[in-house]
Structure formats: C-alpha cells, structure tokens
Amino acid sequence: QDSIELLDNFIKDTTHEINTPISIINTNIEMIQESPLCEKEVKKIKRIQIASKTLETIYKDLKLTILTTDDKESIEKYNIKVILEERLEYFSLHLESKKIEVSCNLDNVELLAEKALLERMIDNILSNAIKYNRVGGKIDIELNHEFLKIGDTGVGISKDEIELVFERYRRFNSSEGGFGIGLNIVYSIAKKYNYTVEIESEKSIGTKVWVRW
C-alpha cells in the first residue's frame, strides 16, 4: 500500500509536466511535414511521431488514473465502429513499424457513454495487443451488439498471472515499458458502465480480450 501511495504521488507531481513538451513536439512535427522531405527524413519523422504518440497515450492514462479533473464529457450515444476505426488510424504507425496485420469484423454498435472513456478503454486494449505482439504478428478485432473482442498473436499471459492483470501497477513483462495501469483502466471504465471484461491467454500463443455489454 505504501508503494502504491508513493507511485501515485510521484505520478501526480510529474504528469502535469508531460503535456507541454508533447504539444511542442507534435506542433514541430506538423511544421516539418509541410516541407519537402527525403525518404530517410520521412522515416526519422515517423519514429518521432511514434514516440510522441506513445508519450501522449501514457499521459492520458496517467491523467485518468491519478489526477482529479472536472473536465468530464456529457454522456451520449457513440458509434463504437467509428471510434475503433479512428483509434486504429491513431496507432497506424505503431502497427506499420511492427508489420502487424489487422483483420476487422465490425458491426455498427452504439453505446451510451463518455467518448473519452471509450477511447481510453479501446486504446489500452489495442496498445497491449501491439506492444506485446511479435513482429509480423496479427490482431483480430470483432465488434457486435454483444461484445468487442481484440485478439493478438503476442507473448501471452500465464493462467496464474491472468487473475492479477487488473491490479494497478501490475506488470508481467519487464522487457516492455509502461506503468502497469492499462488493464486496470479498462476494468475501471467497464465497471463504470456495467460492462464485463474477460481475458483468455496462452504463453507464446497470444491473448484475447472481450468487453461485453
């Protein structure tokens, strides 16, 4: 408990400082892209964009997890298919860099919620499916009126570890960065809207995550 409080306080102190540098980086990337670039320069800019988007995702997760804010959106009906397509575009450079193939079977599904929370929930599942996937791996996404399923061909999680994946700061793969808060965020948002989250995984085979509503 003391360790969690120390981490919470550290994140509160540092999260405020992250957003401004990210905004400056993104603004300068946009300015550079307006100029003619050779192929090598384009590749370098893409790497910077990937790093910037990774930081941006971390910032949003930390802000949602730790910081108390009043900037809540109104609850409205949102098309989950549209949000998924937007988030896949957001992660397109990450997918391209790892040569991951994505297959989608998406119905038009509307849910009543805050859009920002739906995005955080989807982003964290997608981010894990990319981060822990192998180069040249696959991600399979299915969306219908009963559930969203995102499956990957990554490193997988052992049966013992699955029971602990929703705990805050719980990490099982030290080779990848992160605070270990992604699935905790997914679980918390799902609980807020009375969704359920299920995980099926096998070491070296991959992981499937269902969000049922």
Predicted model pTM: 0.78
Mean pLDDT in residue range 163-178: 71
Query: What CATH topology corresponds to 76-212?
Result: Heat Shock Protein 90 (3.30.565)
Query: Average pLDDT in the 102-131 region?
Result: 95
Question: What 3-state DSSP class applies to 167?
Answer: coil
Lowest mean pLDDT among 48-52, 88-92, 151-155, 205-209: 48-52
Q: Which residues of 159-191 are buried (b: 16+ CB within 10 A; e: fewer)?
A: eeebeebbebeeebbeeeebbebbbbbbbbbbe
Determine the Cα–Cα distance for residues 192 and 113; give it in Å rounded to an integer: 10
Residues 60-65 have a mean pLDDT of 78
Q: Which two tokens stand for residue 44?
A: 């370098």
What residues does each domain of the chain span? 2-65, 76-212
Residue 96's contacts (CB-CB under 8 Å, 6 or more residues apart) are 46
Q: What is the pLDDT of residue 175?
A: 60
